[in-house]
Structure 1
Amino acid sequence: MTQVQLLTPVAGQLCELTAVADPIFSQGMMGQGFGIEPEAEQVVAPVSGQVTMVAASLHAIGFKADTGLEVLVHLGIDTVELAANPPFTVSVQVGDHVTAGGAIATMDLAAIQAAGKAPTVILAVTNSADTLTQFEPQVGPVRAGVVGALATLMNKEQAANEPAIQLATEISSTANASVRTGDRYAQLAAQIIEQVGGAVNIKSVIHCITRVRFYLKDEQQANDTIIQNLDGVIDVAKAGGQYQVVIGPAVNDVYDAIIAQLGPGFGDEEATETAVAKEARKAAWQKLSPLQKVKQAFSSLIGVITGSMIPVIGLLAASGILKGVLALLTTFKVVSASAPTYVIINAMGDSVFYFLPIFVGFTAAKKLGADPVIMGIVGGVLTYPAIVSLASGGKVTGHLLGMAINADFFGLPVHVAAYTYSIFPMIAGAWLASKLEPWLKRVIPTVLRMIFVPLIEVVLIAGAILLVLGPVITALSGALAAGIVGIYQLSPAISGLLIGGFYQVLVIFGLHWAIIPIVVNDITTNGHSYLNAIVSATMVAQGGAVLAIALKSKVASVKELAWPATISAFCGVTEPAMYGINLKYGRAFATASVGGAVGGFLTGLMQVNMWGFAGSLIGVTSFINPQGVDFSLWGFLIASLITVIVSFSLTYAFGFTDADVQNVKTAPAKKHLGEERVASTEI
């Protein structure tokens, strides 16, 4: 008798054939086999052999294995009914010879479920009655291309043509052959495989810079002492669900030898590349000086910020321009702010900002490796009307650390902050999700993940933002507000210099909300705001910087974004300029900030006043005194002109070159940091 292995055609949860929701298969009418509830769309060959059948609807593929087994892979239940628009792509045809573990097809799981069909993948040995004496499915979570079942053939000769998938007990003969040929890596590989419990105990294998990392079915079967004393092994470690054999510089050779003996289905190149990159980053990080670590951390932070914002930058730019047009229409009395026309156009221009947490939650999750849909739902929680009402109109029952206590949570007094227009909480939440999700998927059984992973994530992450992160930002903003008021009272010019230089930095982290309440209070109580005039100068500065890039760059993609970002910034919406261009290329944001500092200093020095909320160049009418034109209008024009000249000139000369674009494209992704930020639209 000879035992052979049948590999898993897809990744997912492997179950007994009797548990499959198809009576034809579950009652064994098609032969012995197993089912898999798939978690990925890639389908691989379960055996080495010839393709004998591809269904016209592409839902089933048949094989004649080199061992003589006739194997059927059935993709989904009742999916033959989807023949008019099959949710499958098959890359093999009848007559092709395939290797076990090689890619043969993909299946669109979402389309199958949308059609009301179960995506269960079924493997059946259709001639099992004539060829098999025993069939042992390996029930549990599996990866594609690993051992799914052990099958005992009726006669040993039938297995002779498929040595790559023979049982691990035959590995000892491989080891002996290795000794004879003098291949010490193959010999060590065979010894390691044997001592970790054999191929039947191995789910998959990856490696990093120094270690071969096994995912074992049962770590208790591994003989630590023997492995540690093998010639060529440095040590054994267990972490993160992996059984790690420390090899050292020869890890690539040992890993290749292990995969050669197990078969290609056991390797995971993508996971290996990730592990190698992670180890390389860790080693490089340890060699950095403290100052270099701070610099790299800040660079990583900027990468996360801009990467999360880039997908929505075009929308922000378009919306910013629309908001500028609406400001002109209301300024010149074409449209009344209370008219339905205004409401409709304002909704078109403002919705992307109002619901920004939802969009940024989705994009940040993709950037950081979390579930985008779940983070989009978390963004929906933050912008839910009842939460917005609590933040803006909840009953204030007290104050703590400068925060208004406007709600309670299970009796505990809490501060609910406003999250519309914000992005920092969502990126922080996406980072938290990227750490939480892998742990949840390890501890929650596969059959329960669909419900409980999103449930736990939404509760924990939304709760962390609402109950912890929001109040922390509010407390910091309150302290910052007190400092800003004190500086402004001491010297408007110095206050203008500092606020002008750092306001857009505050926007990144959501701390600009410290200034907005002051502005609102000034305008509602006094009818004007000197502070808002300084904020306006920072918008002009961002526009001047991105204008320089629009004129200087020869890169089409940069120019296409820089021009609308310029218009948007001069219309009072700086997010496209900041996140799409200036912050992304680093020096441009610094030169824009210098321009903002100059503009803020001049605005404060000339005591420019502002009677409206709309800032930047589009808000010129906000600088007209209702009692009659005074120097504030001329001061605004002078400060704005100088601000544009300074930010434009510095950026054109020092802040940007087209080489920066290539540097950003080739910079390695840094996902090991969780620093994020919030940005909100300015007044």
Structure 2
Amino acid sequence: MSYEKLAKEIVHLVGGENNVVSLVHCATRLRFVLKDEAKADKGKLEKTDGIITVKQSGGQFQVVVGNKVPEVYNAIGKVSNILSETGHEDKLAKGNKGLGAVIDVISSIFAPLLGVMAGSGILKGLLLIASNLGWLHPKETTYMILYAGADSLFYFLPLLLAVTTARKFGGNIFVALTIAGGLLYPSIVTLKTEGTPTDFFGIPVVMMSYSSTVIPIILAVIAMSKLEKLCNRLIHESVKNFVTPLILLVIMLPLTLMVFGPVGVYVGNGIAAGLVAAFSFSPLLAGAILGACWQLLVIFGVHWGLVPVFINNIAVNGRDGIKPSASASIFAQTGAAFGVMLKTKNKKLKTLAGSATLTALFGITEPAVYGVTLPLKRPFIAGVIGGAIGGAIIGQAGTQAFASGAPGLLTLPIFYGPGGQGFPGMILGITVSFLVSAILTYILGFEDPVDEGDTTDNSAKESTPAAVFSNEEVLSPIEGTVVALSEVPDPAFASEAMGKGIAIQPTTGRVVAPFDGTITVAFKKKHALAIVSHHGAEVLVHVGVDTVKLDGKHFTSHIKEGDQVKAGDLLLEFDMEQIKTEGYPTITPVIITNSSEYTDIVPIAHGQVKEQEPLLKLSATTKDQEGTA
């Protein structure tokens, strides 16, 4: 796959780089904030090779591309100016409001750090295990060196957040880093540790510990970015490059120590205390709710509101008892995808569900959720139930997270603390959530998609003659305008990959039988049907393009598989105007799916055609006359 080619396609289909306010990425998604989402072509994006799905939530236009997201993100930086700092401030003038704005800010600030957080968290968890098992002692220099690598991100977290927040709000990154460095400066740390009374020009300063904190630096850099823009407007260009940073440092560092720091620390601790209280009141109930709802929060993008709480708990307290229950939801959806893989008879879906299961085991659930469980509905519900049960077990066990990282098999060490307390509950919880979801999915079942490339089943083949007769006519199943198959905006039909035939632009919303025959396939989405004549011609009538996505809406079927029909019998009705309103073309291919058995397939009708007028002439040499004389 060419990442640069995919990147160009994505930039074009989101409305061009001038339509992009900002772009960040998480583990599997490109998270765009667009000036006008109406300019983005969601339908074409979803059909683009390399894109799993597209979601709009939390004020973001999210393009899900899976594990290759860092490569695609970097490629976008190469083919456009979206990731450059130039002009970024002007782009930020327009944004979202309310909850969407909050979610956008939080995800933009934390998403770039998730990868290194996961790596640091795994290393920290492995060191905890090695220490508890006596393999390494905390006083050994080997342990100290590795622990510095694992813990430095969390200790210097304000520095990293200063960078991502400044990028989000168009502030000077180096000034933001300097302010964050001031909070961690040795003499400032000493004032806190020694309890020295502190004031700034006589104004009392409540000293706090800022290593590993989250909210203070975010508030400080947001305010700094606003002040910077004001200074740049008022100060002459000849001196603003050094006068503006001077003003920012003089004002923002003291203001952060006096206001943003204490407020941020107290607010973060307050939110964390509230959630901890909920788990203290009933860890079983709180765990069940979080295990059931976490994946729903992820779908709508509002889970970002809890991510800072998890990180803050680990940074301040060294552990977090809330995040582990959310892990049950991850393994539950994994189990549901596994259940789909076991039950489906659709080869394409089986392959998709298998690969999605493997990916989800390592914490990347988007392919499983958006590609498998959510479209099939019941497997997703099974995952919610499994997540609730697993979350309840984990909550009751009192499992703690001792480092950050996306829940998955590789990050299980982050839940292993001193003495391993709560870790067995974690293992039991995720195992139960996986198994319950898989079993429920298998029992409850789902509407197994029919492979549209296979329009006949064995029973139908057995019930129809093996011989193909020459000079058979196919009557028009629809009234409308005849157009060439090559004009259908779907390569599978236009290229004749599914067979030769013709297309009709309908003027009425009816499909009738094109000959006497047997219904071999009545698609459950009602958008298409397959019929075989008594002489062996196999015809697929597919109303519209991509109308399978309507899930049967605006269609009324009058048939079922195995029905014997006469030419002209009403098979299907559809609401043309509603289908067009939904954004789908109504052009209808009429395909001879066993075209290879005919020497010639010739269109008879041209221009306007009515129901039951001759449409196609099929010519062939008799293939097998046995039993047909």
TM-score w.r.t. the length of structure 2 is 0.40
Could you tell me the TM-score, scaled by structure 1's length? 0.37
